[in-house]
Every structure is written in C-alpha cells, then in structure tokens.
Amino acid sequence: MTNAESIVLVVGSLHHDIMVEADHLPRKDETAVGTRWFPKFGGKGGNQAVSAQLHGAAVRMVGAVGADGFGRFLLDRLAASGVDHRFVVTCPDVGSGISVAIMEPGGDYAATIVSGANLRIDPAGLGHAAVWQDVRLLILQNEIPEPVNIAAATEARRRGIRTLLNAAPSRPMSPEFTRAVEILVVNAVEAEMMGCDPVTDLLAAEAAARVLADRFETVIVTAGAAGLAACRATGEGFTIPAESIKVVSSHGAGDAFIGALAAAITRGDAFKTACTAASHAAAEHVAGRQPGPDAR
C-alpha cells in the first residue's frame, strides 16, 4: 500500500525508446544488421517514476511531451503505472523526446537521445503549491536543463524536502545546484567525470564516494557487477557487493535502482537497508525479472 502523505516527486525526462537488438554494436562507418526492434517507455525521469511506483511509493511527475503519438504513448504508460501525471505538459510545437538504443546479446548497449519536449519544461511551474502537496522526496536527473533542476531543488529546500540527484548523464554543476542537493547517486563513469579516480572495484568506489562526500551530504557510487559504495559527509560509509546474476540486459538498471531507493527512503527504511533494497531491484532488473510499464 502506498502512503499518500509520502509522495515522491520526479522532475525529469520522458523518452519514447526504440530498442534494437543486434549481435554487436556497430563501429564507426559500419552498418550493423539487427534482429528485432520494439518500442519502450523511457527517459530517466519516467523510468525512475515508474520504478518508485512499482516499489510501493506514491509518485507524482513533472515533465513534458509533444503533441504526437509518442507523447500519447508516454502518458498512457504513466497512467497505467499509477503515476500522477497531471503536471506533465503537452507541447504543441515540438516532438516528444526519443532515444534509440542498440543492445548486444550479452546485455551491453549504446544509446542516443533527442530531448525534444524535455527542453520545454517551465521552471516557473515548479512554484505551484499543488506540485509539492505531501511530497517527501524530490528526484532529479540530468536529461533536462539545469535551470529546471535548480528551480526544483531550490523550491524543495525551501520547503524542507530532501533532493536526490542521479547525475546522469554527467555534466558540470553550478555551486547553487550543488548546495541544494542532499543525496547524490552516480555510476563509475559519472564519478570519474566528476573528478574521481577510475572506479574499477568496490575499494575504488568507496574512495570515490568519500571524495564526493566533500561536496554532498550523502553519496552513492554504483560500480556495476562489483556493487556499490556509500558515504556521508560525516565520514560514515559502507559497501554492498552486487548479487550474482545472469545478465539479460543492463539497460535501465540504474533507473530501477533509483526508484527502489526512493521508495525505501520514503517509507522510512534505514539508509543501508534502502541501498540494499535498491541494489536487489537493480539485480532483478538486469536479470529480466523486474516488472515495468512494458514488461514482456
């Protein structure tokens, strides 16, 4: 059962994903032959909203889609998943965001996104009281413009609401935005792009988390098959090894992690317990056992 007084607010991207299966990722100037393609609900914001809802949180989303078939597809999937999408606007003069991802049989993938309507989210709309009613946690990512993220995080801070940033894809952060983020979640590549040494194992992930904890109150560095490391600005920290699973696809694993983490935080779980639940959710997703709006 969801707690109507502990809402997760996701401000973020919505993409109509086009998934292509192929026996390998194409090299430069190569035309690879695929074996199958299919549409999929996506965007880091949308995926994280749906994941949090699936893990028991009540979720509200702020975003934007185009007035096209892709936009209707995205809104339908949000509705089917139970996400409150009253504050997802439809833009009549721009297409919905899309991504194209190519997946290898081993689960690795490469993707390209076109932001479209995601660039039209209006920061001024985040000042409306109804957006924040009963919100306990704000989730942000970097697939929308930073001014939108700053407006959301600043308003959350003013209201005493915690902000979790999944800094993906990595990009420079202004001091104003950095100060407003309480929980930072990054993967190995993103940690390195934020100034850490390469993350190749759990020890390196732990070192990266400690470096980033100089700038953020709480940091989680995920290291794929190695697991994760977490650290607080106070110096407390821990590592959690990854579960041993057979990889079906790693596409969307980070979003499954964020959604499960947010749900655990809003229900009041201890931080390490929440991280353990999120790690398990990511493992289930990679193994092909995690449900979603496009479960097959």
For the chain, the first-to-last Cα distance in angstroms comes to 24
Residue 197 falls in the annotated catalytic set: no
Strand partners, 189: none
Instruction: Calculate helix-pair angle for 271-286, 253-266, nearest 10 degrees.
Output: 150
Calpha distance 181→161 (Å, rounded): 10
Long-range pairs of 241-245 with CB within 8 A, sequence gap ≥ 24: 241/202, 242/279, 242/283, 243/279, 243/280, 243/283, 245/283, 245/286, 245/287
User: CB–CB of 163/157 below 8 Å?
Assistant: yes
Q: Which of 84, 255, 269, 294 is catalytic?
A: 255
* Residues with active-site annotation: 255
